[in-house]
Amino acid sequence: MGQVHTGTSITATSRARESALPTLRALLAPPLPWSKLAFAREMLLHLGLYGLYLFTSKLVFGHDTEQVARRNGIAFADFEAKGFTRWEAHLQGWLLDNALWAIRALNRVYFLTFWPLIAAIAVVLYCFNRDRYRFYRNVVLITITVALVVFMLAPVASPRMLPQYVFVDTVVQLGPSALLSESAQDRYNAFAAVPSLHFAWGLLFGILFWRIGPRWLKIAGVPYPSMTFLAIVATGMHFALDTVAGGVLTLGALVFYEGFLSKWLGGNRAAPSTGQTAADRSPGR
């Protein structure tokens, strides 16, 4: 009887895996024809992820999330200081004293290089190259899945929320302050500093720009992650080590997807590094 039960369990587990595979393929590797319904489905997916990002922000610690995040932020900053000098506040102070125009510009870079650029790139890729859209969409899904787990279990406050480190909240002080106004507080997770998704996706965009060409876009792809890094550090939104965690997250997601998941799903090849493919020459499938 025990052997029969074990065999039945193994069979049931095998069937569950077999049934889950088509479901995962349907999510990560669906056919993406040009239609309003398919486009709406993709938009709902992104809106759902954004909603999940907001919903999970205080799911584990509830009203204690801010206290836990501040404590983790201090611990993270102290850990960084053991290996590096804490130079971020000095950089911000120098810019505030000598190049206020640069801080104002970086405030806007901080905003424009996140959701607006994400939305614009997603729409352009979906319209003109659905293979590449699917590839980078899935890499983003991996990064945000891992990040959401970290944000829930180990929330970390950004430097601007830790007064003992003498950071100025430049976005609130110099604008556009609407980004961090009281009415905007409910539209983002203030305790999601580590890993920095802002830098993680900035690095991913740099890789994307380099891969798809043309030459001017390749050139833009090289300094783009550095510009993102400068913007999020100089504005007091992240410590440098936050960005390291974000960079590791993106590179890990790329390796995992290109080396394993895309092959396991089947029929959803890794994005080529050159632009001479049928997918590049056509508006999508």
The pLDDT tens digits of the residues spanning 135-193 come to 999 999 999 999 999 999 999 999 999 988 888 888 888 877 666 555 565 678 889 99
Radius of gyration of the chain (CA): 21
Return the residue matching tokens 């990064």.
Answer: 143
Q: Is residue 184 within a helix (H) or strand (E), and if so which, with residue range?
A: none
Query: Strand, coil or helix: what is 252?
Result: helix
Q: What is the pLDDT of residue 263?
A: 82
C-alpha to C-alpha distances, 175 to 88, 103, 180, nearest whole angstrom = 20, 10, 9
Q: What is the predicted pLDDT for the residue at 277?
A: 39
Residue at token pair 């920095």: 196
CA–CA separation, 89 and 271 (whole Å): 39
What length is written for the chain? Answer: 285
CA separation for the pair 126, 105 (Å, rounded): 30
Position 37 scores a pLDDT of 82
pLDDT of amino acid 1: 45
Both tokens assigned to 30: 């669906």
- pLDDT value for 285: 39
pLDDT tens, residue by residue, 28-51: 555 566 677 888 888 888 889 888
Q: Are 277 and 213 in contact (CB under 8 A)?
A: no
pLDDT in tens, the chain (285 residues): 444 444 554 454 455 445 544 555 555 555 566 677 888 888 888 889 888 988 888 889 999 999 999 999 999 888 888 766 678 988 999 999 999 999 999 999 998 888 888 889 998 998 888 889 989 999 999 999 999 999 999 999 999 999 888 888 888 888 776 665 555 656 788 899 999 999 999 999 999 999 987 889 899 999 999 999 999 999 999 999 999 999 999 999 999 999 888 888 765 444 544 444 334 444 443
Residue-level pLDDT at 139: 95
- Sequence-distant (6+) residues with CB within 8 A of 79 are 241
pLDDT at 247: 97
> Which residue matches tokens 């029929």?
267
- Rounded Cα distance between 145 and 126, Å, is 21
Token pair for 68: 């836990």
Strand, coil or helix: 283? coil
Q: What is the pLDDT of residue 279?
A: 41
pTM of the model: 0.81
Domain boundaries, the chain: 1-30, 33-281
Cα–Cα distance, 17 to 15 (Å, whole number): 5
19 burial (CB, 10 Å; 0-12 / 13-18 / 19+) is: exposed
CA-CA-CA-CA torsion sign (34, 40, 221, 273): negative
CA distance linking residue 275 with residue 217, whole number of Å: 13
Cβ-based neighbour number of residue 155 at 10 Å: 27
- pLDDT given at position 230: 95
- Rounded distance, CA 23 to CA 19, Å? 7
